[in-house]
Amino acid sequence: MALRMLLLGGARAAKLAANHQSARQFASATAKSGAGAGGFIGGLAALGGGLWAANEYGYINLSQAIQGLQASIPQLGQAKKDYGAVRKAIEELLDADDYDDGSYGPVLVRLAWHASGTYCAASNTGGSNGATMRFAPESDNGANQGLHVARQLLDPVKAAFPWISYSDLWTLAGAVAIEAMGGPVIAWRPGRADKTGTADCPPDGRLPDASLGAGHVREVFGRMGFDDREMVALIGAHSIGRCHTDRSGYEGPWTNAPTTFSNLYFQELLNNKWRKKRWAGPLQYEDKSGSLMMLPADMALLWDKKFRKYVELYAKDEEAFFKDFAAAFSKLMELGVPWPAAA
């Protein structure tokens, strides 16, 4: 509407000033500028002449007109921010027969989780904004071992869409992976900005330690502002992926469907029989078959009465789990992001 009014106002004023010598010379010069890109530039120049005349005759304010045009006409050379295309590019990377269980989905979720889970509400530091895991020492932290795989996997996407920040790309990849593996739709929005160096890396130790119990779980998640229900829902991400001895020191998957997002993790945790694994590695638990495992932090959800009620809920109601997980994961990825104030 603003552009239409400017065009009409400019045309009217230009008509009234048709015999104005300067305007005729200006229009004549632009008419000779050629076709194609030159014609487009010439058209803008002619429009500029009309606006100049409109300003002279008092029909419009030229300064306001220019601002309106800047808002209405796309900037030359500016890339369109097509997040749908980014989503598609991420989806095309997920399937990989030669990686783990045939999908990069779980490691992309882990990247988004670990990039976001460093947030501290008290100091308003850490979180997904910044993508500081690009830098040491954060990239070398024990909790982030193996995540170079996910970061490198997304580098070609970043190269194809250089306008997207790493912060947005990593979190979007986590959301896309969850949805592609059968999970809920994750509310996601862009707006994160990348940091430029190690000074912004959060201190080590903010991510959950799988060897500890309920008190530690509440301390870590509580620091970010989550309640018990949200904590259990977020840990339900263990429905996908597996542990690796060369990364976390632990070994094995939580479920028999590690590339399908579901409530199977809670069903296994609640209904299976777990015993300490006899091996040279750190304490973990295994089922009778020895093919599935649980970490001490997983078992804490079963042994803590307040946590257990949500384990029981999610084990029998996948819809409730999906709803709660989607809300909590979206919240996790937005913690600490300085969103612009609403207009």
User: Is 125 in a helix, a strand, or coil?
Assistant: strand
Closest Cα to residue 50, out of 76, 78, 84, 12?
12
Q: What is the CB neighbour count within 10 angstroms for residue 142?
A: 12
Copy the structure tokens of residue 253: 């998957």
| Cα–Cα dist 43/7, whole Å | 12
Which one of the listed residues 114, 170, 238, 274 is annotated catalytic?
A: 114
Copy the structure tokens of residue 58: 């008092």
User: Is 192 in a helix, a strand, or coil?
Assistant: coil
DSSP 215: H
* Virtual torsion, Cα 67, 70, 72, 74, nearest 10 deg: -170
DSSP-assigned letters across all residues of 55-116 = HHTTSS-HHHHHHHHHHHSPPTTPPP--HHHHHHHHHHHHB-TTSTTTBSHHHHHHHHHHHH
Phi and psi torsions of 153, nearest 5°:
-60, -35
Q: Is 254 a catalytic residue?
A: yes
Q: What angle do CA 333, 334, 336 make, to 5 degrees?
A: 115
Which one of the listed residues 113, 170, 188, 254 is annotated catalytic?
A: 254
Closest Cα to residue 298, out of 308, 288, 313?
308
DSSP-assigned letters across all residues of 251-312 = -EESSS-TTS-SSHHHHHHHHS--EE--SSSS--EE-TTSS-EE-HHHHHHHHSHHHHHHHH
* Catalytic machinery residues: 114, 254
